[in-house]
Amino acid sequence: MKIGIVHDYLNQYGGAERVLEVLLEIFPQSQVFTLIYDKNKIPQFLTKQNIKKSFLNSFPFSKFYYEYLLPFYPAAVESFDTREFDIIISNSSAWSKGVVTNTKTMHVTYCLNPMRFVWESFFSLIKKKGIISKGLKIILSQIRVWDEVSSKRPDFYITISKTVQKRLKKYYGIDSPIIYPPVNTEFFVPDQNKRQEEFFLLVSRLKPYKSIELAIKTFNRLKKPLVIIGEGSHYNYLKSIAGRNIQFLNYVDDNKLLSYYQRCRALIFPQIEDFGIVSLEAQSCGKPVIALKKGGAIETVIEGKTGLFFEKQSVESLTDAVKRFEEISFSQQECRNNALKFSKERFKKEFKEKVFEYYETYKREMEL
């Protein structure tokens, strides 16, 4: 049996790429397809895989300005030849679900999110005046039509959370089961020999929708130390508004990330996240989370036991949550026990069983 895995981009390392790594543990001989590839931005493990890149990768400066290639992505993902495969798994937050397959090939999408920028974030992206905003509105409207059409291409969907499940139903009219993403609870562990330090931690891609600005403004007001780990297009702006109490570390490898989780007081989680693997990585290390009470955090943080929620994306609301946090003690073991429910081994078993269950169903239907 020949299996292919289609992944949106391999030019950054975040939750989606952690999922891809585990998919490759389940299906180690798989061919990986991706639209943009930069071996300098991903772990060595992924660089050793059999990776087929789209024609976009040969465009000048595509590794650095890939977001400006927006109009070309539909053609790029449709250019992948999948005819020789029995199963295609698309690990998709935008484009990869649009890969074209024939009737010989079963296509299952692990949907990380429907295409965010044409649905959830559309109006916030086009709110500025001017010709660029008008042009972007036209492009995004055209891509939304392609996105709706291409949503019918997978034979089956699996999704990552109740939040994404609801979006799939709203935007595509599709029902899907949930298999929560994997958390490497065997690697992300507490260390009793490391002294807890005074800093709070934020781990995220530095993009506008991640609400890092909110955390910076809050900690500027509180004058408490905050360490921010991550890279992204918003870096220069965020750095410019941060006080001296806020430290930026850009990309760090997992060993350094583990150390920061183990030494921090708590993880700050200010965004509306589809699931939020970093929240559970922190809890797996025994650390509580201060999270916005929306999105995936509601499914991964237990109020008063493994963290605290704040209600609004405002400095006042987050400030209040940090002050409340100072008055509560959290059990390291309780935080870790919650994370263990989302372990990597659990994901591998559930996902493999579901894919082969779908494959047997698909074969029966094709034989009728």
The whole-model pTM stands at: 0.89
H or E stretch including 31?
strand 31-37
Burial group, residue 138, by CB count within 10 angstroms (0-12, 13-18, 19+): exposed
Low-confidence ranges of the chain (pLDDT < 50): 131
At 50 the pLDDT is 79
At 42 the pLDDT is 84
Burial group, residue 161, by CB count within 10 angstroms (0-12, 13-18, 19+): buried
Q: Calculate helix-pair angle for 277-284, 15-26, nearest 10 degrees.
A: 80
Q: For the chain, which domains are there?
A: 3-182+344-367 (3.40.50), 200-340 (3.40.50.2000)
Tokens 């180690």 belong to 28
At 130 the pLDDT is 53
At 136 the pLDDT is 82
Condensed to tens digits (0 to 9), the pLDDT of residues 145-180 reads: 999 999 999 999 999 999 999 999 999 999 999 999
Q: CB within 8 A of 272, min separation 6: which ones?
A: 209, 211, 292, 294, 295, 313
Can you name the residues that pair with 183 across neighbouring β-strands? Answer: 343
